[in-house]
């Protein structure tokens, strides 16, 4: 798996991009560097070397890419491809032989603080310290324990006759809002009549 | 332990029938006092006949005064229990002083249901509890479950990242778990039921915490021990003490709760005994009977099926119906919670609680409930329904005064009839006697509680000294008089709106201190001011005497806006704290968990927050930009398959809109739809990094620059 990566940093040499593409390559370089920074590659020197390597590989692949593909897309794609391939080599298969997903690999890397504790090991298959590998492989996330399914069903409550009557009355009023409005007017008129009677008696 | 508790010998609870004697005494006292007061009012009103208005006033007076009497008798009972320091019905006394050996405790789940809460407060509280359990050597006996119902996409992402960060920091994987429900069926009670269906069988007990709960390890251990010693106990509720108040209002409430709370709690335990209540959090529950008996059905049948909003009272009643006991461990201590910071936040919480309590009317006649549980439900209803009744009572009194003035039918209070003749004091004095009795019943409980503190040197000093207790008592009492009518108008409005069928949204409770929300205060309290002014003018028109009688009510309403502004000021609250006014024992001698939490929150609040435009979309930004956050979110999603057909096109259209126009182009529901699909989230992450800047919206360009340059290294959503 690592054979096709060819990420020997000693062989690093950046070809000169065509003047017309210079600005785009600059942007691509910046994006790759920022992406590595987002991956917590905090060592600037290591980041610069990795960025140069990735851009170099992207430049080499440009002629093979579909026409119109933005240069930043090529470069960031290459960065992600390298990272995923590198992580795939580090994580062992599960007990059921299924490979770990890319997301699980990233989470394991984050949890073991890999890029910060072993900065030179990032994207470097030749320098994976044993401590790094052991820690990375131990960091498997489980959001919940094994299920112990049981049943909890709502139990009916006999609420007695009054709530049942009130419930049916409420349902009727909900179904016929005009009836509700008429009742409100009736109550208001009754209150007015009562007040009139009270003050005139 | 509660400061009033002392070293005690191990006791067995008396048989439950013995508590019936207490209940007979308690309710007889309430009935006798209410009856006497009602008699006096009837005697005052019935002079030369009694009018319809007066009959209405008398009818309203009986339940309203009954509530006052109940509070008074409860406080007096509590006072004598705390004075004697002996309560055979205190469940805390059924276990020895020594802590149990951790290995003797069964596995217990600590469930924390959350809904769009302040992530740092939730997780710092959890961290504090977790580390305290580690210190006590019993962490192996407890598993934590964060049960999220959040429907704010930013909160969701922040919760996930905070969970991973916290587990990483405290080595809590396999001990702290996170679950996000995709469908928020039945709100908080549904969230707990969902947890129990999945994992309830693994645990004998479950401790339910709120987002702002805090508990000491010793308290958690004792709660489990209490359940073990009392196998018929279904729920044991602790009494959470208020902490971390900063605004004047919150400090006032915190002071009142800490100073007056103990006698009311002891009094409550006096009459409820094993028929206690569940307050929804800071309580331990026996899982198996809870699962068997406390599944809540819908409240009403038919198309508009309503769900219980205040599920806790009903669950306690159902547990008791199943012959399990529900106790309040009021002497346990070590249990804390936060308070709403401002009167407006308090009113918002009351609005939610009001709906939940009024719903309990449907349960009053339910078959098989214990009569004490019915009383709890009724008292919950009356605690809100009393406000419109008091309002009506005062209005009727005004109408009566107006009728008497207009039609010259004024009563001669000096007419020597009835009770006043028998007592030889005259009708006017009889009125004053009744007024004095009401004031005494409202004031004496607070005074007794203050005396209890004043007589104990250590407690007195923990409250800042005798003078400060007295000053705090006086100021709190004066302000509570001013705030009572404001609350009365609020609650009356809530009751009417709910009765008219207005919906009450499920909003998270505000627990954080911000600045003074001038606009919110003015718009919320302007009706109070207008009502107060009109009421005062009308009273003056009827007669100056009535104006002055009503002045405590109308004055509180008229000044409600400036009063609320002053009470909402965090600066004023902190100045009062420096003066040691309204100081409480948890501040003068803070327990370690409280100081740890305060210290951790302080360090978070000192961090430079993102700019507001980014902060409100911080979770979404992080999940799109940060490779680790994106990966963490995807690995936690259960749906990982790629949707096809129309669903795929819809998700693609949402993604395009998000990247082309920024997060504001999507509403909250659309953002949630995007975040629920792992493939879409991965695609978004790749696209935002792949695309040249010129093809991104200005919002994403700014967000990327901010993300790439603001800090030494990218921050995850939480902290540290």
Interface of B with A in 628-687 (CB under 8 A): 628, 630-632, 634-636, 640, 678, 682, 686
Best residue in A77, A152, A169 for a mutation probing chain B (most B CBs within 10 Å): A152
* CA Rg value for chain B: 28
Q: What is the DSSP string of B298-324?
A: -SS-STT----SSHHHHHHHHHHHTT-
Q: Measured between alpha carbons, how far is B131 from B336 in angstroms, rounded to an integer? A: 16
Question: How much is the pLDDT for B303?
Answer: 47
pLDDT in tens, A54-74: 988 888 888 787 777 888 899
Contact B302 A167 (CB under 8 A): yes
Residues of B in contact with A149 (CB under 8 A): 197-198, 201
Residues of B in contact with A162 (CB under 8 A): 365
Residues of B in contact with A91 (CB under 8 A): none
Q: Measured between alpha carbons, how far is A60 from A107 in angstroms, rounded to an integer? A: 31
- Determine the number of helices (DSSP H) and then strands (DSSP E) in chain A: 8, 0
Length of chain B, in residues: 720
Helix (H, G, I), strand (E, B) or coil at A135: helix
User: Cα-flanking dihedrals φ and ψ of residue B179, to 5°?
Assistant: -135, 135
Residues of A in contact with B196 (CB under 8 A): 150, 152
Contact A150 B196 (CB under 8 A): yes
CB-hemisphere CA count at 13 Å for B452?
26
pLDDT band at A144 (very low <50, low <70, confident <90, very high): low
Question: How much is the pLDDT for A148?
Answer: 62
Strand-pair partners of B109:
B143, B206
Interface of A with B in 29-58 (CB under 8 A): 31, 34-35, 37-40, 42
Best residue in A150, A158, A162 for a mutation probing chain B (most B CBs within 10 Å): A150
Closest CB to A101 among B298, B407, B635: B635
Question: How much is the pLDDT for B47?
Answer: 75
Contact B196 A39 (CB under 8 A): no
Residues of A in contact with B627 (CB under 8 A): 35, 38-39, 106
Strand order in the sheet with B176-180: B176-180, B142-148, B108-114, B205-208, B283-286, B233-238, B325-329
Q: Is B201 on the interface with A (CB under 8 A)?
A: yes
Helix (H) or strand (E) run with residue B235 in it? strand B233-238
Q: Measured between alpha carbons, how far is B336 from B238 in angstroms, rounded to an integer? A: 9
Residue in A closest to B403 by C-alpha: A199
pLDDT > 90: percent of chain B: 66
Residues of B in contact with A80 (CB under 8 A): 686, 689
Structural domain boundaries in chain B: 105-299+306-353, 612-709
Which stretches in chain B have pLDDT values below 70? Answer: 1-11, 300-305, 408-417, 419-421, 423-424, 427, 503-515, 639-642, 711-720
Closest Cα in chain A, distance from residue B470 (Å): 48
Closest Cα in chain B, distance from residue A139 (Å): 9
Question: How much is the pLDDT for B384?
Answer: 95
Residue in A closest to B165 by C-alpha: A111
Q: What is the DSSP string of B452-501?
A: HHHT-HHHHHHTT-HHHHHHHHHHHHHHHHHHHHHHHHHHHHHHHHHHTT
Closest CB to B199 among A105, A116, A147: A147
pLDDT in tens, B70-115: 999 999 999 999 998 888 899 998 998 888 888 889 999 999 999 9
Contact A142 B707 (CB under 8 A): no
Closest Cα in chain B, distance from residue A3 (Å): 25
Q: Measured between alpha carbons, how far is B337 from B279 in angstroms, rounded to an integer? A: 12
* Interface pTM, i.e. ipTM: 0.77
Contact A72 B164 (CB under 8 A): no
Please, are residues B651 and B643 in contact by the beta-carbon 8 Å criterion?
yes
Q: Is A145 on the interface with B (CB under 8 A)?
A: yes
Closest CB to B714 among A37, A157, A161: A37
Contact A38 B714 (CB under 8 A): yes
**Taking the alpha carbons of B48, B50, B51, B54 in that order, is the dihedral positive or negative?**
positive
Question: How much is the pLDDT for A95?
Answer: 64
Closest CB to A167 among B300, B631, B692: B300
Q: What topology is assigned to B105-299+306-353 in CATH? A: Spore Coat Polysaccharide Biosynthesis Protein SpsA; Chain A (3.90.550)
User: For helices A71-90 and A44-61, what crossing angle results, to 10°?
Assistant: 110
Q: Which long-range contacts (CB under 8 A, 24 or more apart) does B252-256 make?
A: B252/B475, B252/B476, B252/B479, B252/B567, B252/B582, B253/B339, B253/B346, B254/B339, B254/B582, B254/B584, B255/B472, B255/B476, B255/B582, B255/B583, B255/B584, B256/B476, B256/B480
Residue in A closest to B292 by C-alpha: A152
Angle at B44 between CA B38 and CA B47, to 5 degrees: 130
Residue in A closest to B321 by C-alpha: A157
Best residue in B162, B175, B203, B300 for a mutation probing chain A (most A CBs within 10 Å): B300
Question: How much is the pLDDT for B175?
Answer: 92
Q: Measured between alpha carbons, how far is B447 from B3 in angstroms, rounded to an integer? A: 18
Closest Cα in chain A, distance from residue B393 (Å): 16
Interface of B with A in 397-426 (CB under 8 A): 403, 406-407
Q: Is the pLDDT of residue A52 over 60?
A: yes
Closest Cα in chain A, distance from residue B577 (Å): 42
A 10 A CB-CB count for B653 gives 11
Question: How much is the pLDDT for B249?
Answer: 95
Please, are residues B85 and B459 in contact by the beta-carbon 8 Å criterion?
no
Residue in B closest to A83 by C-alpha: B627
Interface of A with B in 87-126 (CB under 8 A): 101-107, 109-111, 116
pLDDT in tens, A147-185: 566 677 777 777 777 777 777 777 777 777 778 778 888
Contact A154 B298 (CB under 8 A): yes
Contact A31 B689 (CB under 8 A): yes
Q: Is the pLDDT of residue A1 over 60?
A: no
pLDDT in tens, B172-195: 988 999 999 988 888 889 999 999
Strand-pair partners of B179:
B147
Please state the separation of Cα B560 from the chain's center in Å.
23
Structure-derived torsion over alpha carbons of residues B591, B593, B598, B603, reported in degrees to the nearest 10: 140
Q: Measured between alpha carbons, how far is B616 from B613 in angstroms, rounded to an integer? A: 6
Residue in B closest to A30 by C-alpha: B708
Best residue in B392, B689, B703 for a mutation probing chain A (most A CBs within 10 Å): B689
Q: Measured between alpha carbons, how far is B110 from B107 in angstroms, rounded to an integer? A: 10
Q: Is B179 on the interface with A (CB under 8 A)?
A: yes
Residues of B in contact with A154 (CB under 8 A): 295-298
């Amino acid at each position: 798996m690592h054979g096709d990566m060819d990420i020997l940093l000693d062989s690093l040499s950046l070809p000169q991009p065509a003047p017309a593409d210079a600005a785009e390559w600059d942007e691509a370089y910046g994006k790759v560097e920022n992406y590595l920074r987002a991956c917590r590659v905090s060592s600037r020197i290591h980041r610069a070397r990795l960025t140069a390597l990735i851009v170099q590989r992207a430049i080499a692949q440009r002629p093979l890419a579909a026409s119109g593909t933005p240069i930043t897309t090529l470069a960031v794609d290459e960065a992600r491809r390298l990272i995923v391939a590198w992580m795939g080599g580090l994580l062992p298969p599960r007990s059921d032989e299924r490979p770990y997903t890319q997301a699980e690999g990233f989470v394991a890397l984050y949890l073991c603080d890999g890029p910060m504790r072993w900065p030179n090991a990032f994207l470097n298959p030749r320098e994976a310290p044993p401590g790094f590998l052991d820690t990375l492989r131990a960091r498997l996330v489980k959001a919940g324990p094994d299920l112990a399914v049981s049943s909890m069903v709502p139990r009916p409550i006999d609420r007695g006759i009054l709530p049942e009557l009130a419930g049916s009355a409420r349902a009727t009023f909900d179904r016929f809002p005009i009836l509700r409005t008429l009742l409100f007017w009736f109550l208001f008129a009754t209150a007015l009549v009562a007040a009139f009677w009270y003050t005139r008696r | 332990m509660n400061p009033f508790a002392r070293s005690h010998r191990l006791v067995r609870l008396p048989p439950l029938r013995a508590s019936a004697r207490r209940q007979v005494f308690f309710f007889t006292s309430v009935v006798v006092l209410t009856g006497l007061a009602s008699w006096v009012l009837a005697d005052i009103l019935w002079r030369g006949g009694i009018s319809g208005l007066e009959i209405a006033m008398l009818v309203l007076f009986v339940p309203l005064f009954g509530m006052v009497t109940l509070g008074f008798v409860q406080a007096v009972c509590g006072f004598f229990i705390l004075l004697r320091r002996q309560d055979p019905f205190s469940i805390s006394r059924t276990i020895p002083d020594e802590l149990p050996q951790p290995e003797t405790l069964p596995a217990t789940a600590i469930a924390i249901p959350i809904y769009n809460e302040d992530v740092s407060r939730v997780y710092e509280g959890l961290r504090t509890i977790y580390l305290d359990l580690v210190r006590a050597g019993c962490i192996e006996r407890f598993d934590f479950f964060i049960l999220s119902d959040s429907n704010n996409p930013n909160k969701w992402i922040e919760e996930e990242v905070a969970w991973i960060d916290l587990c990483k920091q405290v080595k809590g994987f396999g001990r702290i778990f996170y679950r996000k429900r995709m469908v928020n069926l039945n709100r908080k009670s549904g969230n707990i039921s969902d947890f129990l269906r999945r994992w309830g069988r693994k645990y004998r007990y479950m401790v339910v915490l709120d987002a702002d709960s805090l508990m000491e390890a010793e308290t958690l251990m004792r709660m489990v021990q209490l359940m073990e010693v009392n196998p018929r106990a279904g729920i044991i509720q602790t009494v959470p003490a208020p902490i971390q108040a900063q605004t004047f209002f919150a400090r006032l409430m915190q002071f009142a709760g800490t100073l007056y709370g103990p006698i009311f709690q002891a009094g409550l335990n006096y009459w409820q005994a094993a028929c206690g209540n569940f307050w929804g959090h800071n309580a331990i529950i026996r899982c198996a009977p809870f699962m068997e008996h406390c599944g809540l059905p819908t409240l009403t049948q038919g198309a508009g099926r309503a769900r219980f909003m205040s599920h806790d009272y009903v669950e306690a009643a159902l547990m008791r119906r199943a012959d399990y006991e529900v106790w309040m461990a009021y002497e346990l201590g070590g249990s804390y919670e936060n308070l709403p910071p401002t009167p407006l936040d308090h009113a918002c919480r009351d609005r939610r609680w009001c709906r939940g309590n009024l719903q309990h009317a449907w349960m009053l006649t339910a078959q098989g409930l214990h009569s004490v549980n019915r009383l709890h439900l009724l008292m919950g209803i009356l605690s809100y329904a009393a406000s419109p009744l008091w309002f009506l009572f005062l209005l009727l009194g005004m109408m009566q005064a107006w009728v008497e003035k207009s039609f010259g039918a004024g009563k001669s209070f000096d007419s020597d009839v009835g009770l006043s003749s028998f007592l030889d004091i005259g009708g006017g004095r009889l009125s004053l006697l009744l007024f004095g009795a009401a004031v005494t019943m409202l004031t004496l409980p607070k005074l007794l509680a203050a005396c209890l503190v004043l007589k104990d040197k250590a407690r007195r000093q923990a409250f800042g000294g005798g003078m400060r207790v007295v000053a705090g008592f006086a100021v709190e009492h004066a302000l509570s008089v001013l705030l009572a009518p404001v609350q009365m108008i609020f609650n009356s409005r809530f009751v009417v709106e709910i009765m008219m069928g207005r919906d009450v949204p499920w909003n998270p409770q505000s627990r954080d201190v911000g600045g003074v929300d001038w606009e919110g205060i003015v718009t919320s309290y302007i009706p109070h001011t207008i009502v107060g002014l009109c009421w005062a003018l009308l009273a003056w028109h009827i007669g100056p005497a009535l104006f002055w009688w009503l002045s405590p009510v109308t004055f509180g309403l008229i000044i409600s806006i400036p009063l609320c502004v002053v009470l909402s000021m965090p600066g004023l609250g902190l100045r009062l704290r420096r003066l040691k006014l309204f100081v409480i024992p948890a501040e003068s001698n803070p327990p370690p968990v409280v100081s740890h939490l305060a210290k951790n929150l302080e360090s978070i609040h000192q961090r430079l927050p993102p700019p507001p435009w980014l902060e409100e979309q911080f979770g979404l930004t992080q999940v799109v930009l940060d490779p680790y956050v994106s990966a963490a979110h995807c690995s936690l999603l259960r749906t990982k398959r790629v949707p096809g057909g129309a669903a795929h096109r819809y998700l693609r259209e949402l993604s395009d809109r998000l990247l082309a126009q920024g997060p504001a182009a999507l509403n909250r529901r659309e953002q949630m739809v995007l975040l629920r699909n792992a493939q879409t989230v991965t695609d978004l992450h790749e696209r935002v990094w792949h695309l040249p800047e010129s093809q991104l919206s200005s919002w994403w360009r700014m967000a990327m620059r901010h993300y790439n340059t603001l800090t030494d290294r990218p921050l995850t959503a939480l902290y540290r």
